[in-house]
């Protein structure tokens, strides 16, 4: 069954040692950039306790490239497998040995070079698992206290957001949105703003102009 409420967030940059890739897929108590959805501007914080060991034991979590389920790197099925997922004081840590496949070799090379500099995860929020509070500046604060579904952790090139941000946020229909969709949006915004777009330039200008 597909879940129409699945969401995607970015978190800390991954690292690589030999063929071992690791990173923080979720950062607790880390305010996001200003997000926008349904006509509402908000900042989001994922609280400690939003993810627990029971959730990990009940989940089938995949490590992917750019949320693409055809580019599998590792897997943790109900707490066991080639993907290590661990809850720490800081957030959700992941680690895996990159497979000797085209995608595994690609991941090691691109993370080592710094071209892939982001981690991300796909999840759903439990019913009554978040609260909303309107601040004096008109921006809402969303606090996520309970995540009901954890579907993947991913390595991704997301240059529009700094390493510990939770800025890439796409509500998706059934499958996680890849970085290609996000880059298309950046290109569209650049065209609208009459800003020449390159993969690593003018992004700060776009963020400022559109409150990304």
**How is residue 189 annotated by DSSP?**
H
pLDDT in tens, 99-118: 999 999 999 998 888 888 88
Residue 2 counted as domain residue:
no
Element (H, E) at 75: strand 68-77
**Dist. CA 136–CA 138, nearest whole Å:** 5
| 3-state SS, residue 208 | helix
Q: How many domains does the chain have?
A: 1
What average pLDDT does the segment 195-211 reach? Answer: 47
**Dist. CA 12–CA 48, nearest whole Å:** 16
Residue 111 counted as domain residue:
yes
Residues with Cβ < 8 Å from 182, sequence gap 6 or more?
158, 160, 168, 170
Q: Is 89 exposed, middle or buried (0-12, 13-18, 19+ CB in 10 A)?
A: exposed
| 3-state SS, residue 65 | strand
Please state whether 108 falls in left (phi above 0), alpha (psi between -120 and 50) or beta: alpha
Smallest CA-to-CA distance from 149 within 24, 27, 59 is with 59
**pLDDT band for position 119 (50/70/90)?**
confident
Residue 1 counted as domain residue:
no
pTM of the model: 0.68
pLDDT in tens, 57-73: 999 999 999 889 999 99
pLDDT in tens, 134-164: 999 999 999 999 999 999 998 887 633 233 3
| 3-state SS, residue 209 | helix
Name the average pLDDT for the chain.
76
**Residue numbers of the domain that contains 36:** 7-210
């Amino acid at each position: 069954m597909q879940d129409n409420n699945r969401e995607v967030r970015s978190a800390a940059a991954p690292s690589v040692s030999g063929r071992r890739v690791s990173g923080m897929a979720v950062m607790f108590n880390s305010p996001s950039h200003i997000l926008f959805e349904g006509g509402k501007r908000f900042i989001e914080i994922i609280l400690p306790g939003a993810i627990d060991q029971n959730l990990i034991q009940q989940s089938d979590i995949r490590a992917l490239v750019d949320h693409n389920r055809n580019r599998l790197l590792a897997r943790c099925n109900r707490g066991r497998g080639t993907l290590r997922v661990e809850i720490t004081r800081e957030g959700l840590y992941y680690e895996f040995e990159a497979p000797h496949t085209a995608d595994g070799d690609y991941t090691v090379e691109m993370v080592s070079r710094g071209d892939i500099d982001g981690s991300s995860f796909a999840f759903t929020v439990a019913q009554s698992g978040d609260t909303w509070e309107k601040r004096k500046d008109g921006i809402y604060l969303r606090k996520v206290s309970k995540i009901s579904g954890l579907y993947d952790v991913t390595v991704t090139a997301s240059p529009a957001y700094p390493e510990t941000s939770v800025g890439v946020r796409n509500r998706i229909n059934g499958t996680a949105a890849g970085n290609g969709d996000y880059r298309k949006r950046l290109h569209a915004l650049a065209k609208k703003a009459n800003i020449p777009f390159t993969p690593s330039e003018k992004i700060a200008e776009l963020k400022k102009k559109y409150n990304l």
